[in-house]
Amino acid sequence: DCLTNEERKLVRNSLDIGYFREAEAILEPGVQPTHLFVIIKGYVQQFEGDELITTFGPDDSFDGRGLVAGKVSGRFVAAEEVVAYQLSKQAVSDLISSNATFGALLFSDLTRKLTALSERQSQHELQSLTMAQVEQAFIRPAHMVDADTDIVSVARAFHDHRTNCVLVQDHRVSPPRVGVFTNTGLQAAILNGTPLHQLAVRELTNFELITVHPADHLFDALALMIRHQIHRLVVADDERIIGILHQLDLLSFLSNHSYLISLQIMEADKIETLKLAAEQITRLISLLFRGGTKVAQIARLVQELNAKLLERTWQLIAPPDLIANSCLFVMGSEGRGEQLLKTDQDNGLILRDDYVCPHDLAALADRFSEALIDFGFPACPGNIMIRNPIWRQSVSEFSQTVRRWLQNPDPDNVMTLAIFMDSHAVCGDTALLTKVRGELYRLATNNAALLSRFASAVEAFSNTSGWWNRLLLLGDSAGKELLDLKKSGTFPVVHGIRSLALEYQLSQTSTAHRIEALVKIGKLPSDMATDLIDSLNFFMALKLKVGLEAQETGRPLEGGIQVDKLSSLDRDLLKDTLGVVKRFKAMLHHRYHLESI
């Protein structure tokens, strides 16, 4: 789909079809290839020596790298009867010369492939904001007053509700009517000369409402504002008034939707309003991803918005003295800034040592956890939430708990330590969290046995057969088994880097920032670092893509990726990135002597 019409014609004129029997060697090491193969039917296995490297299925291509290099490095064998297109080497060379994207997607290293993919998505998958609907924008609540209300009372309503307009209901006429009174009307009232406490709002209300439906496109709403020279529209579904769409909010949505969500969170005075903001964050993620925004940028933005969401939630629940004497923090993917769609809660609360809480802390913590569940953050199966007393302790108590985890590094304690290492403060005194994290680094320094035990968790989810070996299952079993992307890809990268961060006492919590710090101090090769960051971003993007598709179709979000449903390009990239994970784990095995653990 990245070829021009002329290039497609070249492909059609340069194709043959080949047939290969089961167990037949299609390419041998050292052979100079003459064609690029694109499988129509069957499966081909690639071996290096006796090791099975990967499996190719329908729509997959091979061996592009060998074609460019001039010789094959592996052995390609038909696992069953194979029918494949054969595209001549000359045609492939011509396509590479004329189309850089084609060459990058098929034959480049991982970084260039992902760069080309990003550019292609920007061209082919632009999600125009002009197609966004009114209901996706920030619709402000509609505050209603009676038409007989005096202007002073209306001005007070402006102040109390932090608004510059109210809807006015007039029951004196039949049928009753509804209008809008704005700050422009307030200026007119002052110039009217009548004492404001004697002037009814009816006199200066515009009863010719301009309305828009929630499902209308935002650009249609903007056109209405321009046509009528107004700055706000009433959003209504038939006779039911939903709220007010302001021109500033509409334009902000089209330019920077995240600002509106942040504003909505900061101005929230009740939990219900925050729930609406949480829903807006999910819509924003979809909007940005469909528009080609890089997944790392989306994750960073989501971390900031979620932090504000949790901070404001805690501020609405906890008394000021508790907030001043504690630190609320998040952990796991949320702490690392790598969470996109909402996942299980991982949060904790550290209290100042000399603070005696006069409130029912258990009840407040429970309210907080329940609020997050209502926002769409499921309860943590391991109960790593502030409603659990273990995760709300004083600095001294938390430090003692960390010491116990370190002194008894069984698998559960190792994973708990790993989760805590990614802690990120969202509300209160951040110095409290810094003290406890400092205790962790102090005790782990120069403890080779502990570091090896900690790093060994990279094998916690290992499968001896290896997903890179059976990425495409053969025969009727294809697609019935799911790839757990977290276990096979994300976790080994995240935890391996976390292990190195613990050894070298790095303060960063983001995996990408830890990788950059490791390169800076000379503890990680720069080429490996680039591949790890690219791989992690690909895993995050693939998981997000599948998750959004599940949401849009109303299907439950499964715990894995159905590999046979991926495009051939995504499968190819998945093989490359899982290969990076394999090499990184081999490096960790050598560094921490994991074979002896």
Q: What are phi and psi of 361, to 5 degrees?
A: -65, -35
- Using only C-alpha atoms, the chain has a radius of gyration, in whole angstroms, of 30
* Structure tokens belonging to residue 522: 């000379």
The arithmetic mean of pLDDT across residues 232-241, rounded, is 91
pLDDT digits (tens, 9 = 90+) for 238-290: 889 999 998 888 877 766 567 678 778 888 889 998 998 898 888 888 877 87
pLDDT at 596 (0 to 100) = 65
The sign of the CA dihedral 105, 106, 111, 114 is positive
**pLDDT surpassing 50 at residue 474:** no
Whose tokens are 């302790």? That residue is 393
pLDDT at 85 (0 to 100) = 95
Residues listed for the chain: 597
Whose tokens are 């009372």? That residue is 153
The arithmetic mean of pLDDT across residues 112-124, rounded, is 60
Task: Return the CATH architecture of domain 5-107.
Answer: Sandwich (2.60)
Q: Tally the C-alpha atoms within 13 A of residue 50's C-alpha that lie toward its C-beta.
A: 0
Torsion, CA 403, CA 584, CA 571, CA 482, rounded to 10: -40
Top-confidence residue, 464 or 494: 494
Q: How distant is the alpha carbon of residue 350 from its chain centre?
A: 27
Q: How distant is the alpha carbon of residue 156 from its chain centre?
A: 42
Distance, in Å, from the CA atom of 109 to the CA atom of 572, rounded to the nearest integer, reads 12
Give me the percent of the chain exceeding a pLDDT of 90: 46
Give me the percent of the chain exceeding a pLDDT of 70: 89
The amino acid present at 524, given as its one-letter code, is L
Q: What are phi and psi of 294, to 5 degrees?
A: -65, 140
The mean-pLDDT minimum among 250-259, 334-343, 581-590 falls in 250-259
Strand order in the sheet with 61-62: 15-20, 82-88, 35-41, 61-62
pLDDT at 490 (0 to 100) = 92
Distance, in Å, from the CA atom of 176 to the CA atom of 442, rounded to the nearest integer, reads 72
Whose tokens are 């190719």? That residue is 56
| Nearby residues of 54 by Cβ (< 8 Å), 6 or more positions away | 45, 46, 468, 469, 471, 575
The mean-pLDDT minimum among 52-61, 128-137, 334-343, 578-587 falls in 128-137
pLDDT at 323 (0 to 100) = 96
Distance, in Å, from the CA atom of 208 to the CA atom of 149, rounded to the nearest integer, reads 19
Among the four given CATH numbers 3.40.50.1980, 3.30.2320.80, 3.10.580.10, 3.30.1490.100, the one describing domain 131-263 = 3.10.580.10
Q: Tally the C-alpha atoms within 13 A of residue 530's C-alpha that lie toward its C-beta.
A: 9
**What dotted CATH number matches 292-444?**
3.30.460.10
pLDDT at 86 (0 to 100) = 95
Three-state SS for 535-572 is: HHHHHHHHHHHHHHHHHHHCCCCCCCECHHHCCHHHHH
Band (pLDDT 50/70/90 cuts) for residue 464 is very low
Question: Please, are residues 350 and 327 in contact by the beta-carbon 8 Å criterion?
Answer: yes
Whose tokens are 């004492």? That residue is 195
DSSP codes joined into one string, 141-178: PPPEEETT-BHHHHHHHHHHTT-SEEEEEE-SSSS-EE
**pLDDT surpassing 50 at residue 472:** no
pLDDT digits (tens, 9 = 90+) for 543-576: 888 888 877 777 766 667 877 677 777 887 888 8
This prediction's pTM? 0.68
Question: Please, are residues 273 and 162 in contact by the beta-carbon 8 Å criterion?
Answer: no
